[in-house]
Structure 1
Amino acid sequence: MRPASACKACRERKLKCSVQSKSQACQFCQAQNLECSLSLRDRVLARQEHRSKRILAAQPQSPIQSPKNDRHQGSNTAQLFQGAAKLNLKLPPIEVCNEIVDLYFQILHDKQHSLFHYPTFIRAQREGTVPPIIILAIITYTARFSNHSYFKGVERRYRGQEWSRAVKTMLNIQDMEVSITTMQACHLIGSLAISEGDSRMESMCSTIANRTAQLLGLPHRLSSDKLERELELRGTHYTILPCLRLCDSDWLFVVWWSIYMFDVWSASSRGLPRTFTLDPTWEWPMDEVAFNQLTYGTAAHSHEDFDEDLGLRGIHPRRLSMWGQMIPLTDIKSDVFTLNEWTASQNHLTIDENRLLRSVAEISSKLVVWLHDLPPRLHNTPENLAYFVDLGFGTTFLALHVGYHYHSMLLYYQFLHEAESSGPSECLLSSSPYARDYAERCKFHATSISDILWTGSQTPRCECLWMLCGHMLVISSSVHLHTLLLGDDEELINQARNYLERNFELLLRLQSYWPGIFLSTTRLRVFQKACLRAARLNDTFRMDRWLLNMLQEHHEAIVNESTNDDQVNVTGDSLSAANMSAHSPSSTEFQSEMYSWIR
């Protein structure tokens, strides 16, 4: 967190915190005979940070994509390395840290979250003015992707475990401020917790980020200045934005939409109530290309100017934002999760068929409208993919479309059971004319997920390597497994077999990076065995609490309902290297087991 410049007593009373040059306590605390919470060292650090901001603001403001003359005397970088030394924590050399930060923006940023403005963040990181907790979180989260010799001999998915513990320790509630740094740190640490299978930590981080957003008055309290407003919607730390004319130094820019999506995902996957409800009047972020072109000197221009320069007249500029288009999809996801939870709570023989079909039709129409309203530039075509790859946003483009197909697949998933049921004695919906159509839609979307993620793996600068891809591949594979086990069309069965092989290959690659993929692959193994052990193969696809856990609670372990054979003594909260090595099959074993299903 950024160093506080006022003690706790003065902050609570909204007083100026003044200190005499040789005094450890401020004037107010001295007068009231109180123990001042802020040390002289803390005040020095705060002054250093303020000075670094003024120096940065006075420098030329052209964006720096690849700084050649790195400087590392910034106070925050010094704090990071000094803090690491106190914790007996060894950090990579500066050049390795720089490489890891670059990899973060190439592989992870703008896929699961959008927290920073790339050009200004890179500049600030090279100059050492980014808060230490942010840098350490990024290093911990992204070191697994580095090919630097510094990590030689260290398995990718186990890198940074000590750093992970340290960065979580830095998120100290006693020192926490209502600030953008807190929100960014919570989002990064929450994402890190997901990758480690630590669902409780992830949920706690989401809650803190949500409450911070509320205390900041978001999203209603936005700047009237167009550039400042955009950065509030998108999110960038004030210490790395010298281009902004801040009216209130206490008003910190936030990652509102990332926090909103984080809330939906975290709450939905754990069956908890959401903190925020989508308001259609909330403003979307601008498109990614225009956003990355924002530099000092553009504050007088509106975001429309950027889009017109790109030849995009006639389309509302914010409709071109891929991150913006994910917003309604995220809200639809919540509707799908709520529907599936309701279905799982009902008796499949007495379920209210009209209510279920009406709900499915309503959500389905939202997805149809979303797809229909996409600007032509955002349609899923090879030409558009090539366009965004050239701009550096190919993976973001794929993330948008794989999200659409994932939510659609979950909506129709329960009809895989209904379409194959023999009559009302097995399922009330088996006679519905919609059952088979919805089941086919589910299979179409599962196939699309496999196609998109495979295309990414075969396209330079487009590989989809973020953690959630593993869960989507597992659910997609379970749909292909339905075709393989219950299908009667030999051509479709062969296609399903090919898709399973591709999915397994992608899962193996993801497993080499993320320890949490162990939970995903375990779910798939358990699901396949449950299919083979069921009295009727189709029973495994009935929407009940067990299947709901399989589909939605991706952070939890899953076991076979009728046996504990597949239960592992590794929960989603303790995927340590020791536990992983004890319970996780090797890549060769996993590959052998998976491929044995489809031979």
Structure 2
Amino acid sequence: MGPGNEHNITVENITKSSILAEMVRLNRILLQINQFNIRASENNLDSQSIMNDVEDLSQQLDIWFEELPDHMMDTRENLTRYSEQGLGRLLVALYLGYYNYGQMLFYRFLHEDSRTFDSRTRYYANKCKYHASKLCEIVYASEEVPGCDAKYNMVGHVLMIASTIQIHTLLFEENEDIVAIARKRLEKNFCILTHLVSLWPTLDVCMDRLMTFHASCRESAETSFCMDQWMVQFLVEFAKPVSGKDPETQHKSSWSLSSMGIVH
């Protein structure tokens, strides 16, 4: 083995170790976010307590992101470079985690933002939408950059959550340009999810959950995004089937874009 090859292996190992270390740091924040969502749904926490926890966790996510080195930022250039080292999928997984944790933390603000206007609520609702959009984009990029494809089943769950946020935009956004973007994302996500189901048949639960959620939105858009125990289970217990929030939404919709109001 020549000196050049030895150097490449050393750099690759250091880079891989760095990504794995960041994943460990990020997972500590995820644990806190999950615990917060469960605690907030099971206890009658006052709005100030909830806001304090959200601000603390949001700051932790921001600090984690701001401390990343430039070569680990979410750019197409970095993704291509990591892919050339055989580490593209790891970088994708890192950002799938980050964007998913963000959309889960801020998800609760979608409900209030669609009912009343409050600058703080709007700020966090927009952060939720931002994380969901970036999650979609990193999934799309993973399919376009060779050696970065994310074909494992957890992708189906986080993309399903991001898709429900696109549904929120379709229901409540007044800007037609933003609605059009959300509709395109939802259509593309549906195709990706369908493909993932063909690779991982157990992901049919994920598709059923998305269709059940959409059916719930059609029955009662005003309550579908409320962060209650049903919603926490929907976000966290990704491997379990879910029924509608109301008895009327127990039926299962077919897997089709037309059933979601999206037609080619």
TM-score normalised by L of structure 2: 0.91
Counterpart among 18, 21, 26 of residue 329 in structure 1: 26
**Which is richer in helix?**
2
Corresponding residue number in structure 1 for 2:121: 435
Separation in structure 1 between the aligned mates of residue 73 and residue 244 of structure 2, nearest angstrom:
40
Counterpart among 255, 259, 262 of residue 590 in structure 1: 255
Corresponding residue number in structure 2 for 1:473: 159
Q: 1:520 to 1:593 in 2, by over 3 A?
A: farther
1:509 paired to 2:174: no
How far apart are 1:598 and its partner, in Å? 2.7
Please tell me the residue identity of whatever aligns with 2:29.
I
Counterpart among 393, 401, 409 of residue 95 in structure 2: 401
Separation in structure 2 between the aligned mates of residue 518 and residue 465 of structure 1, nearest angstrom:
15
Corresponding residue number in structure 1 for 2:231: 547
Corresponding residue number in structure 2 for 1:176: none
Q: 1:592 to 1:408 in 2, by over 3 A?
A: closer
How far apart are 1:565 and its partner, in Å? 5.5
Please tell me the residue identity of whatever aligns with 2:228.
D
Deviation track 1:530-575 (CA, whole Å, cap 9, x = no partner) reads 11111xx23111100111111111011100122265467xxxxxxx
Corresponding residue number in structure 1 for 2:105: 411
| Equivalent pair of 1:340/1:548 in contact (CA under 8 Å) | yes
Counterpart among 142, 146, 167 of residue 460 in structure 1: 146
Structure number with larger C-alpha Rg: 1
Instruction: Provide runs of 4+ in structure 1 moved above 3 Å.
Output: 317-320, 564-568, 591-594
SS in 2 for 1:538: coil
Corresponding residue number in structure 2 for 1:533: 219
Separation in structure 1 between the aligned mates of residue 16 and residue 59 of structure 2, nearest angstrom:
19
SS in 1 for 2:201: coil
Deviation track 1:333-389 (CA, whole Å, cap 9, x = no partner) reads 111111111221245xxx411211111111111111111111111111111111111
SS in 2 for 1:447: helix
Corresponding residue number in structure 2 for 1:379: 73
How far apart are 1:514 and its partner, in Å? 0.8
Please tell me the residue identity of whatever aligns with 1:513.
L
Separation in structure 1 between the aligned mates of residue 89 and residue 147 of structure 2, nearest angstrom:
8
| Equivalent pair of 1:559/1:566 in contact (CA under 8 Å) | yes
| Equivalent pair of 2:79/2:145 in contact (CA under 8 Å) | no
Corresponding residue number in structure 2 for 1:352: 46
| Equivalent pair of 2:187/2:257 in contact (CA under 8 Å) | no
Please tell me the residue identity of whatever aligns with 2:205.
L
How far apart are 1:323 and its partner, in Å? 1.3
Separation in structure 2 between the aligned mates of residue 336 and residue 451 of structure 1, nearest angstrom:
23
Separation in structure 2 between the aligned mates of residue 590 and residue 360 of structure 1, nearest angstrom:
35
Please tell me the residue identity of whatever aligns with 2:230.
W
Q: 1:330 to 1:494 in 2, by over 3 A?
A: same
Separation in structure 1 between the aligned mates of residue 257 and residue 16 of structure 2, nearest angstrom:
46
1:490 paired to 2:154: no
Separation in structure 2 between the aligned mates of residue 465 and residue 366 of structure 1, nearest angstrom:
29
> Percent same amino acid among aligned pairs?
28
| Equivalent pair of 1:550/1:558 in contact (CA under 8 Å) | yes
| Equivalent pair of 1:454/1:506 in contact (CA under 8 Å) | no
SS in 2 for 1:550: helix
Please tell me the residue identity of whatever aligns with 1:504.
F
How far apart are 1:420 and its partner, in Å? 1.6
| Equivalent pair of 1:409/1:442 in contact (CA under 8 Å) | yes
SS in 2 for 1:340: helix
Separation in structure 2 between the aligned mates of residue 398 and residue 489 of structure 1, nearest angstrom:
30
Deviation track 1:575-599 (CA, whole Å, cap 9, x = no partner) reads xxxxxxxxxx9xxx623445x4234
Corresponding residue number in structure 2 for 1:557: 241
Q: Which has the higher contact order (CA 8 A, sep 6+)?
A: 2
Separation in structure 2 between the aligned mates of residue 518 and residue 398 of structure 1, nearest angstrom:
23
Separation in structure 2 between the aligned mates of residue 513 and residue 339 of structure 1, nearest angstrom:
33
How far apart are 1:455 and its partner, in Å? 1.2
Corresponding residue number in structure 2 for 1:100: none
| Equivalent pair of 2:215/2:249 in contact (CA under 8 Å) | no
Deviation track 1:399-428 (CA, whole Å, cap 9, x = no partner) reads 111110000110000000111223xxxxxx
Counterpart among 319, 322, 338 of residue 35 in structure 2: 338
| Equivalent pair of 1:318/1:324 in contact (CA under 8 Å) | no
What CA RMSD, in Å, does the superposition of the two structures yield over aligned residues?
Answer: 2.4
1:445 paired to 2:131: yes
How far apart are 1:483 and its partner, in Å? 0.3
Please tell me the residue identity of whatever aligns with 1:439.
A
Corresponding residue number in structure 2 for 1:73: none
Separation in structure 2 between the aligned mates of residue 380 and residue 478 of structure 1, nearest angstrom:
23
Separation in structure 2 between the aligned mates of residue 434 and residue 551 of structure 1, nearest angstrom:
23
SS in 2 for 1:541: coil
Corresponding residue number in structure 2 for 1:522: 208
Please tell me the residue identity of whatever aligns with 1:403.
G
Separation in structure 1 between the aligned mates of residue 250 and residue 46 of structure 2, nearest angstrom:
34
